[in-house]
A and B are shown apart, each in its own frame.
Chain A
Amino acid sequence: MEIENYEAVLYVCHYNGWTSAAEQTNQSPSTISKRVSWVERELGAPVFFRHKGSGVTLTPFGVQMLPYIRKIVALHSHVHTYANGARNENGGELTVGYSPLIGTVGEAEILSRFKFDNPTVQVNQVIRHRKDLLIMLQEGKIDCAFLFMVGSDQPKSGLLDVLLGSNICYVPVMRRNDVSLGVSENHPLARNSCVRISEFYNETFVFSDIPSHEDINRGALRYFFSNEIKQDIPVKIALMDFINKSMVGSFVAGGHGVLPTSCIPPDDLAGVRFLRIEGADVPSCGVFIYPKHYSSPAVKTLLQYVRAYSEERMGRL
């Protein structure tokens, strides 16, 4: 299978090494190496530097070839996605990605409406951080994704355009300016409908520990605590892995910390109450993204649900 050889190049890049690529994809290192060599022979020059030690580096030639390889692999995945869907008459598969969030940008509701009307489509879910989702979308490993953005990284603000590139389309599904604070039910202020950040200076603020986006994360913190930073007021911060929702939920419910969120607060976190923060003005948004050039029939159907939801929640844009 010639065309699958290109995939090996992406695996080596993605897993940053020959051995880890082989382990992660259940192939022997020699198979991976053979496949990469096939591509290098076809192109006429090495794509990777071979050095001792574990990591790998693309050659300048490899850097130039990578976008093409990525596109071929993506198109090849689309072909198989279509074929899988067409073969099983049940309506096919849909692989949706989203980031680990405690709240939601509407993805749960949109997907459940879709699944209710299309019960035979198999919906697969991939929870990864934003950068991984974008790469997976470009490589055709997922069909579409929901992204959440806080602070300056909103559509049309430059950063997102760079992230998304020109071959991805998006539909906004959520836009907010206010921030909610999740606090334990037993917190003395939990009965208030509205609170101020300053009332919680003794508490630990819980934020997502996004490994690949430290800068963006720090930016979001700065956005959230702009007054505190200006006045040198110390705040306690805990970074937690949001994929473990029950851990974060219990942490907050147990009174160990408070959870600011600028997406739609969840209603299923036991023992946690979400209160509006007075005066907080943090622009945030959620978008649904899908490839510009090809969408499987299931994605086209899902897109109708996304658009309907978007219009319902945000009015015509």
Chain B
Amino acid sequence: MNWCELEAVSLIERYRSYNDAAKDNNISVSALSKRVANVEAALDLKLFQRERTKNSVSLTTHGQELIPLFRQMISTHSSMLRRAEDHLNISSGTIAAGVAITLDDLGSGELMSRFFALHPEFHIITVLKSQREILRLLSEGKLDCAFIIVAEDTLSGRYWERLFAEACGDEHYEVVELKRSRDMWIGLSSKDALSRRSSVTLEDLRYHTFIFNRTFIFDHSNGDGLMLKDSFFTDMGVNSKDYDVIYEDFMCRSYIYHLLANGAGVLPQAFRPAQDFPGGRFVRLEGWSKPHKVFFAARKYESGALNVFTQFIRGSMDDAPPEYS
């Protein structure tokens, strides 16, 4: 067994699909399946079983039992390498921070820039990836810390809460809550008459096209047999068939804002940005009350830079603890 084989197992566990995992991680399906097969051969046990639908796989009971151990091994290995680098003074001033791709304003940019202004001696590497990847990398110790958005009390929220707890639920992580919101905002084009209202209902938005973050929506079930795809509408108690939906890559903010301004769609946001976007504005959605929270999670190291960063973030929250507006 070697590390890249174990990492392949961890990757497949997260994606539950060889195709998706390969596509998102610049590796071929055959290399991935070979690595997983090597681990299965070494143990003489199957970790995954094929599902009937869509090329997907699910965990066997052996997989459920062993994959948490693999994650712990990978995580310990990363901590060890990190510690070794610190000791040898290779990259002691570097912090690898993961930020989930989202248009929601997580506050990470502001905090990181203030920290950088205070501590120019430290080097922050930002890793922008889907939240699913960020959580995996954090739990494997490839990232030192991450900014994560978690919905509570919703179908998709339960999925994220589970991943979040798996990734950083134990004593090896320090978690700071940064923001909370019970609001949902809808970004609308100013060409749309609804944008002049102070609030809208889902009924008003019927037959509008909703733009969702591609990396937050999965076709595979979240364990309870629920698809996360339509969870926004299911949570609001409306029929998703009445609404058109497109899934976009949220890497490029201005592309999405242009879509909105042109009236190509509307954008739901739990944490709207401080300013409206050119050609449109955010309007409150009535009837939404589910909480969203933004967390900062950091691995606990005896390393200097990350500790200073975590202290800084904790300190900024002490002055203004997160509240619901």
Question: In the complex, which residues 27-52 of chain A have their Cβ closer than 8 Å to any Cβ of chain B?
Answer: 42-45
Contact of A64 among B44, B45, B76, B83 (CB under 8 A): B83
Q: Which residue of A is nearest B44, CB measured?
A: A87
Bound: A87/B80 CA distance, A: 31
Most buried by A among B1, B85, B88: B1
Interface string of B55-87 (1 = CB under 8 A from A): 000000010011001101100110111011101
Bound: A45/B83 CA distance, A: 12
Secondary structure at the B interface, as helix, strand, loop or mixed, is helix
Given known A-B contacts A2-B1, A2-B2, A86-B62, A68 and B72 have beta carbons under 8 A apart: no
Give the shortest distance, in Å, between B113 (CB) and chain A (any CB).
32
Contact (Cβ within 8 A) B3 A68: no
Segment with Cβ contacts to B, from A76-84, A116-124, A210-218, A221-229: A76-84
B81 / chain A contacts, CB cutoff of 8 Å: 42-43
Contact (Cβ within 8 A) B76 A68: yes
A3 / chain B contacts, CB cutoff of 8 Å: 1-3, 73
Given known A-B contacts A43-B80, A75-B73, A83 and B43 have beta carbons under 8 A apart: yes
Judge if B193 is at the interface, Cβ distance under 8 Å: no
Given known A-B contacts A45-B88, A61-B84, A1 and B1 have beta carbons under 8 A apart: yes
Judge if A251 is at the interface, Cβ distance under 8 Å: no
Judge if B90 is at the interface, Cβ distance under 8 Å: yes
Bound: A68/B75 CA distance, A: 10
Judge if A294 is at the interface, Cβ distance under 8 Å: yes
Number of residues in B with C-beta < 8 Å to the partner? 24
Secondary structure at the A interface, as helix, strand, loop or mixed, is helix
Contact (Cβ within 8 A) B62 A2: no
A-B pairs with beta carbons under 8 A, tally: 71
Question: In the complex, which residues 106-149 of chain A have their Cβ closer than 8 Å to any Cβ of chain B?
Answer: none
Contact of A68 among B43, B80, B90 (CB under 8 A): B80
Interface range on chain A: under 10, 10 to 19, 20 to 34, or 35 or more? 20 to 34
Given known A-B contacts A79-B66, A83-B44, A83-B45, A72 and B73 have beta carbons under 8 A apart: yes
Bound: A76/B81 CA distance, A: 17
Question: In the complex, which residues 193-216 of chain B have their Cβ closer than 8 Å to any Cβ of chain A?
Answer: none
Bound: A68/B73 CA distance, A: 10
Judge if A65 is at the interface, Cβ distance under 8 Å: yes
B87 / chain A contacts, CB cutoff of 8 Å: 45, 61, 64
Contact (Cβ within 8 A) B62 A68: no
A275 / chain B contacts, CB cutoff of 8 Å: none
Contact (Cβ within 8 A) A79 B43: yes
B43 / chain A contacts, CB cutoff of 8 Å: 79-80, 83, 87
The interface of chain A, by Cβ under 8 A from chain B, is 1-3, 42-45, 61, 64-65, 68-69, 71-72, 75-76, 78-80, 82-83, 86-87, 293-294
What are 6 of the A-B contact pairs (CB < 8 Å)? A43-B81, A45-B84, A65-B84, A72-B77, A79-B70, A87-B45
What would 16 more interface pairs be, CB under 8 Å, given A64-B87, A68-B77, A86-B65? A1-B2, A2-B1, A2-B3, A3-B2, A3-B73, A44-B88, A45-B84, A64-B84, A68-B76, A68-B79, A75-B72, A75-B73, A76-B73, A82-B62, A82-B65, A82-B66
